[in-house]
Structure 1
Amino acid sequence: MHIPSFHAENRTPVLEKFVRDNPLGILTTAIKNPSFPFLQSSHIPWVIDSAEDSGTKYGKLRGHIARQNPQAKAIIEEVFEAPGDSAVIENDVLILFNAPHHHYITAKFYKETKPETGKIVPTWDYEAVEVYGKAKVFVDTRSEIFGKFLTQQLSDLSHHAETSIMGYGTGDNAAPWTISEAPDSYIAMLKKNIIGIEIEITSMAGRFKMSQEKKKGDRDGIIEGIRKLPSPTGVPMSDMLANRAAEFDAKKAEK
């Protein structure tokens, strides 16, 4: 991903929070197998463990994928003969996380540059974080480690989604759903149909492209134009634009 300096976000706590707030990541693998495409991608919800909690330099991601998925089948075939209870995919994997709000920015919104010179073109504003790492996979349903990993991962994922995303368990909201509410036999059956993935992160970076580097008149025009959109995206997107502009100005003032 191309990350210009004025859009770059490299603060680990900020990136970890972005992943927690937007846990549905796109996993991309590169596996040589004549039966499957070399590059495959799947949308997977992830749990992120910080570097401190995981005892690693950059932290870990934990997820799972259906065995019926062609990407999972390629993974299983690659590690099938690996010894032990888990195995590592040979090539690094990439996971891309996107913010829920993004939008086309028309040149009409640039209230300063367009009337002055006309030297402006449309763009698209968005926020994304890319993560690279080594993927350890858990595929042997007979393994005790396989069972422990998936039990923990599924429990942590559902708890995060139920509390942080849905808001259950806070204030007057109902208690969050827990995996223990489903029959043990049903959960055991589901586990046989998935594989576990644990990624030790080797690098993580974000591009928060919110027109923050533009002239103030242009930024104000973009924020106003987006806010007036007849769409649910308008208000939250304009808030994101305003927040990034304020951060950009604050950093600039510090230099």
Structure 2
Amino acid sequence: MYLRAIHAEPSIPALKAFVAANPLGLLTTALPSTDPSHHFIQTSHIPWVLDDPSPDTDDLPILRGHIARQNPHAKVFIEDAAANPGKPFTFQQEVMVLFNSPHHSYVSPKLYVKTKPESGKVVPTWNYSAAQIYGTATVYTDSKADSTIAFLNKQIRDLSNKAETELSKHEKPWEVDDAPEKYIELLRKNIIGIEIKVQHLGGKHKMSQEMGKEDREGVAQGFGDMKTETGDYIAKTVREKGQLK
């Protein structure tokens, strides 16, 4: 990720909060395989649980997730983990997870209310927020191993609880134990667990900080006038980040 200084988010606690609020991350790996049908570079959408005992510090967290066993990405993990049967397997290669805010948008030059009429030296761009994690991945692939069963039982419960209570905000949240135990066991056998020890966390809010005050306000006003959730987010963030210049 290109982290231009004016756009970069310097606060680790703020970045961790961003990841927690936007848990669907894109896991990207570059892992060799003996199977020619497996791509060297693979990416999967995974909803993650952020293990962060100290959210207000710069301590780096751990990510926990799972993917379908039939996912081609999982097949590469399983192939490599076969070298260590019955136990979790940690890869030496670095992995990356990208998290994006759902609120992003094209920015028209028309919104630069000062520079466009004065010189015309403006072009379109795109405003967005994102965070990127690098770390080492440990996979739990043996469905019969106690370590895999324990990891996945905790993972699916923690993820469901977070999604039901924090994201969906249901008054009476669905719980894993609401489903038949045998059904959960069957589904659990068809997923693998992934744990990432985060070694580097970076991110950015690309929100018109490079523009002058009047142009930033034109952008904020234009998006605020949209009267949408995305427009409100961008207007608010443009004003907040502009004040930090």
| TM-aligned CA deviation for residue 242 of structure 1 | 2.2
- 1:49-108 CA-partner distances (Å, limit 9, x unpaired): 12649xx95210000000110010111111112255200123111100000100001111
Is it true that 1:217 corresponds to 2:219 in the alignment? no
Q: Which residue of 1 aligns with 2:141?
A: 139
Q: Take 1:245 and 1:187, find their aligned partners in 2: how far apart are those partners?
A: 48
Which piece of structure 1 moves more, 30-39 or 17-26? 30-39
Q: Which residue of 2 aligns with 1:117?
A: 119
Query: What amino acid is the match of 2:234?
Result: M
Q: Which residue of 1 aligns with 2:160?
A: 158
Query: 1:71-220 alignment to 2 at 5 Å?
Result: 71-168=73-170, 174-220=171-217
Q: Which residue of 1 aligns with 2:29?
A: 29
Q: Which residue of 2 aligns with 1:241?
A: 238
Q: Which residue of 2 aligns with 1:40?
A: 42
| TM-aligned CA deviation for residue 11 of structure 1 | 1.5
Query: What amino acid is the match of 1:103?
Result: S
Q: Take 1:189 and 1:223, find their aligned partners in 2: how far apart are those partners?
A: 50
Q: Take 1:211 and 1:92, find their aligned partners in 2: how far apart are those partners?
A: 32
Query: What amino acid is the match of 1:99?
Result: S
Q: Report if the CA contact (8 A) 1:89-1:135 is conserved.
A: yes
- 1:132-162 CA-partner distances (Å, limit 9, x unpaired): 0100000011111101101111111111111
Q: Take 1:30 and 1:148, find their aligned partners in 2: how far apart are those partners?
A: 28
Q: Which residue of 2 aligns with 1:7?
A: 7
Q: Take 1:67 and 1:231, find their aligned partners in 2: how far apart are those partners?
A: 38
Classify the secondary structure of the residue corresponding to 1:137: strand
Q: Take 1:165 and 1:240, find their aligned partners in 2: how far apart are those partners?
A: 21
Classify the secondary structure of the residue corresponding to 2:137: strand
| TM-aligned CA deviation for residue 245 of structure 1 | 2.2
Q: Which residue of 1 aligns with 2:16?
A: 16
Give identity over the alignment, percent.
45
Uncovered stretches (5+) of structure 1, i.e. residues with no partner: 169-173
Query: What amino acid is the match of 1:122?
Result: P
Q: Take 1:166 and 1:151, find their aligned partners in 2: how far apart are those partners?
A: 21
- What RMSD over aligned residues (CA atoms) do the two structures have, in Å? 1.7
Query: What amino acid is the match of 1:205?
Result: G
Q: Take 1:232 and 1:167, find their aligned partners in 2: how far apart are those partners?
A: 18
| TM-aligned CA deviation for residue 212 of structure 1 | 2.1
Q: Take 1:146 and 1:58, find their aligned partners in 2: how far apart are those partners?
A: 24
Q: Report if the CA contact (8 A) 1:47-1:62 is conserved.
A: yes
Q: Report if the CA contact (8 A) 1:63-1:198 is conserved.
A: yes
Which piece of structure 1 moves more, 76-85 or 39-48? 76-85
TM (normalized to structure 2)? 0.93
Classify the secondary structure of the residue corresponding to 1:6: coil
Q: Take 2:98 and 2:116, find their aligned partners in 1: how far apart are those partners?
A: 34
Aligned length: 241
Extract structure 1 runs of 4+ deviating beyond 4 A.
Answer: none
Q: Take 1:184 and 1:194, find their aligned partners in 2: how far apart are those partners?
A: 16
Query: What amino acid is the match of 2:203?
Result: G
Q: Report if the CA contact (8 A) 1:27-1:42 is conserved.
A: yes
Change (3 A) 1:51 1:134: farther
